[in-house]
């Protein structure tokens, strides 16, 4: 009865498996907003400093990576025979392609799953309650009404959902730990031909595929049931309960011919150290230790690396610009705060300030990028710097448009008045 008469009161509204909490908070006054804007100026300056450092570092990183790739492509040696380690290639950057080989079969003793591969992964999920939160806000003049809705559903999750932190844990209790855990098995020695791959190269083999049902066998333990290649710790896999487990397996890098298919072919570029493949340090200071799936030439591999370098470079550039845009937004927030009590003016000023912030962010980003390039390619850096200041030069020297209206002549007016008199 109380909730029916006072639905807006703070507290929890229980609607089946949905709960809604209503809170109120006071809207900040004018002086408070001005104070927040002044704090925003300090934050904005900090963001601009961070963004500038990020952009400057990124240009140096991009150039260094490009130089390392150029050096690698010009010095790499392709091995025609991968079954023999030639002494004259020790210390050199080499390229080779071939099938993966391992000495032992990877095995999960708990579920009796065995695959001759580079990596075998056991993936465990537990059936448990999951909390979903959504929030809505309503401006009611001097205060804001905040409605926070909580809903609960049963899902398979690979990590424990802490029900003790739920807003409403009544009837939504989960186990605090998982007695069956996920695990990844990795082959101790992985070869391509006669060459042993380094740990870094092995870590690059991550093309996981789900183990087909026909390669999984039922267990003697009747509490663990097998359905379509998935192990269930459940009395009824089709109607699971909270605390039930689901276990699947995936493998990566087949390392021998089997019913699953032929051994996986990879292409590697690294430094030959006798019969091992390890990192190659370039003169620019980068490490080259590359592995790709399939048979690829050195040029194809380095083209992929160049594309990756370009993607990372432009991604960081955009991130740096975005930080600068937010930084300038913090710096200029005081302007919109001073006029936010006038609706029409507030919208016009906000739009203008946003455009101004975008232009400032672009210009400052280009300036920092130019400074980063001047060290490596002076003419390119100077060209970018000129591009950065062009908008300000144009705006400073742009002449006002002349008016088509002729100036008013007071002498002619006086003469006409005397004539009519």
Read off the pLDDT of residues 343-398 as tens digits, 9 standing for 90 and up.
777 788 888 889 989 988 988 888 888 887 777 666 666 776 666 666 656 666 65
Cα–Cα distance, 398 to 39 (Å, whole number): 36
pTM of the model: 0.80
* 417 pLDDT above the threshold of 80: no
Decide which of 123 and 23 is more confident.
123
Mean predicted lDDT score pLDDT of the chain: 87
Nearest CA to 248 among 368, 121, 367, 136?
121
The 3-class SS string of 13-80 reads EEECCEEEEEEEEECCCHHHHHHHHHHHHHHHHHHHHHHHHHHHHHHHHHHHHHHHHHHHHHHCEECC
* 412 pLDDT above the threshold of 80: no
* Average pLDDT rounded to a whole number, residues 146-172: 94
Cα–Cα distance, 292 to 375 (Å, whole number): 33
- Mean pLDDT is lowest, of 118-122, 306-310, 323-327, 376-380, for 376-380
Cα–Cα distance, 281 to 270 (Å, whole number): 9
Report long-range pairs for 307-312 (Cβ below 8 Å, ≥24 apart): 309/62, 309/65, 309/66, 309/69, 312/62
92 exposure class (CB count in 10 Å sphere: 0-12, 13-18, 19+): middle
Q: Sign of torsion, CA 340 343 348 351?
A: positive
State phi, psi for 116 to the nearest 5 degrees: -85, 95
Residue 419: per-residue pLDDT? 41
Q: Are strands 93-102 and 190-192 parallel, antiparallel or unpaired?
A: antiparallel
Residue 396: per-residue pLDDT? 62
Cβ-proximal residues to 175 (8 Å cutoff; 6+ apart), any chain: 126, 128, 160, 242, 243
The band of 32, judged by pLDDT with boundaries at 50, 70 and 90, is confident
Q: Which residue has the tokens 């130089």?
A: 67
Decide which of 141 and 118 is more confident.
118
Q: Sign of torsion, CA 50 55 59 65?
A: positive
Residue 132: per-residue pLDDT? 95
Residue 404: per-residue pLDDT? 55
Q: Are strands 290-293 and 245-254 parallel, antiparallel or unpaired?
A: unpaired
69 exposure class (CB count in 10 Å sphere: 0-12, 13-18, 19+): buried
* 400 pLDDT above the threshold of 80: no
CA neighbours within 13 Å on the CB side: how many for 33? Answer: 15
Q: Could you tell me the two tokens for 177?
A: 């730990």
């Amino acid at each position: 009865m109380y909730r029916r008469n006072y639905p807006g009161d703070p507290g929890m509204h229980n609607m089946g498996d949905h709960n809604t909490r209503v809170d109120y908070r006071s809207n900040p006054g004018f002086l408070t907003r001005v104070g927040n804007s002044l704090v925003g100026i300090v934050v904005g300056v900090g963001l601009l400093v961070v963004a500038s450092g990020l952009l400057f570092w990124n240009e140096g990183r991009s150039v260094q990576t490009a130089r390392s790739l150029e050096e690698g492509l010009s010095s790499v040696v392709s091995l025609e025979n991968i079954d023999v380690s030639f002494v004259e290639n020790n210390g050199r950057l080499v390229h080779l392609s071939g099938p993966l080989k391992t000495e032992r079969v990877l095995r999960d003793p708990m579920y009796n799953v065995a695959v001759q591969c580079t990596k075998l992964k056991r993936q465990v999920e537990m059936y448990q309650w999951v909390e979903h939160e959504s929030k809505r806000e309503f401006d009611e003049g001097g205060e804001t009404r905040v409605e926070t809705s909580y809903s609960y559903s049963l899902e398979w999750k690979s990590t424990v959902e802490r029900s003790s932190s739920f807003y409403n844990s009544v009837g939504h209790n989960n186990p605090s730990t998982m007695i069956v855990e996920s695990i990844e098995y990795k082959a101790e020695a992985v070869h391509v031909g006669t060459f042993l791959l380094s740990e870094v190269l092995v870590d690059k083999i991550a093309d996981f595929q789900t183990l087909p049902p026909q390669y999984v066998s039922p267990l003697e333990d009747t509490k663990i049931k097998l359905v379509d290649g998935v192990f269930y710790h459940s009395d009824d896999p089709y109607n699971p309960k909270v605390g039930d487990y689901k276990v699947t397996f995936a493998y990566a890098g087949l390392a021998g011919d089997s019913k699953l298919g032929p051994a996986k072919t990879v292409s590697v570029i690294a430094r030959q150290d006798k019969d091992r493949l390890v990192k190659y340090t370039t003169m620019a200071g980068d490490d080259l230790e590359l592995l790709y799936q399939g048979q690829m030439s050195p040029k194809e591999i380095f083209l992929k690396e160049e594309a990756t370098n370009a993607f990372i470079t432009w991604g960081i550039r955009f991130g740096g610009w975005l930080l600068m845009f937010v930084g300038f937004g913090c710096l200029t927030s005081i302007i919109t705060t001073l006029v936010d009590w006038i609706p029409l003016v507030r919208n016009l000023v906000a739009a203008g300030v946003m455009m101004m912030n975008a232009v400032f962010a672009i210009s400052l980003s280009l300036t920092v990028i130019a400074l980063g390039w001047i060290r490596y390619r002076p003419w390119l850096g100077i060209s970018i710097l000129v591009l950065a200041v062009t908008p300000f030069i144009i705006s400073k020297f742009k002449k006002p448009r002349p008016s088509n209206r002729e100036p008013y002549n007071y002498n002619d007016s006086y003469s006409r008045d005397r004539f009519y008199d």
